[in-house]
Amino acid sequence: MDLAGKVAVVTGGASGIGEALVERFHAEGARALVVVDRDEAGAATVAEKVGGTAVGLDVTDEEAIKAVVADTVAAHGALDVFVSNAGYVTQGGLEVANDEIQRMWEVHVMSHVYAARAAVPVMVQGGGGYLLNTASAAGLLTQLGSLQYAVTKAAAVSLGEFLSITYGDKGIVVSMLCPQAVETNILANSPDRTGNGDGERGTPGAAAGDGVLQPSELAQTVIEAMAEERFLVLPHPEVQTYRERKTSDIDRWLSGMRRFQSRLFADSAATPADWLLS
């Protein structure tokens, strides 16, 4: 994928990873950028910098996603890239309320379904296109301290595999962006950062052990991966090693992760297992 002259939609585009991708796509010569976010004012600020279009919506609203795709094609004659990037994190385990789990499922999985459902027919008709979905290294490994994040991000990766297998021969390229810690709003609120207002549930940085990237650094990796049309986009290359260890001996990996969790919560009054039981 060469982004020069392409039309792209980016959700979660008002800040963090989404904002960095919008700016980098612009630098790479994209001819039209649609910046989508629930924060419409933030989306407008980013769009103004790149001469793009801002749209305020909730990515769990399928009709709104359909409208964005239709409006983009009507305005620019094509849709080449759809970046389904919106996401968030909360802490918790089995004690978490069902509606909280369901909300994260809608944002992290169904939003990708809605994006693909709307964009794929348009892209196929236009000769092909690119779906870049943001998951997380948690989708390949797991997320300590957040059942809902771990499960929904794993589902997002599985969905990406399905889309690639099913529509790859129709000219649809799929990439899954799976970083560890990136300096964004998600990191600020994650179970991997202490001082997040949730006291005992903060941990000293499970995902940050291999470094915290700036969004602009991640954007560089995305550009390289899109040029090669790689399925997995791994800004933290260590993740590949961890995946190989998990695949080669899952029991050993699980045992190691239990030890890792014990170390992370060694100074805490409660571990993730205790949250349900206390």
Q: What pairing do the DSSP bridges indicate for beta strands 32-37 and 81-84? A: unpaired
Give the C-alpha separation, 67 to 151, whole Å. Answer: 29
Inter-residue long-range contacts of 151-155, CB under 8 Å, 24+ positions, other chains counted: 151/101, 152/104, 152/105, 152/107, 152/108, 152/109, 153/108, 155/105, 155/108, 155/109
Calpha distance 199→79 (Å, rounded): 45
Q: Which of 114, 149, 167, 242 is catalytic?
A: 149
The DSSP line for 191-219 is TTSS-SS-GGG--S-STTTT--B-HHHHH
C-alpha span between 222 and 242 (Å, rounded): 20
12 in Cβ contact with 20 (< 8 Å): no
Q: Does the annotation mark 167 as catalytic?
A: no
Return d(Cα 185, Cα 181) in angstroms, integer. Answer: 11
Q: Is 251 exposed, middle or buried (0-12, 13-18, 19+ CB in 10 A)?
A: exposed
Distances in whole angstroms, Cα of residue 254 to Cα of each of 172, 236, 248: 35, 21, 12
Question: Which residues participate in catalysis according to the annotation?
Answer: 149
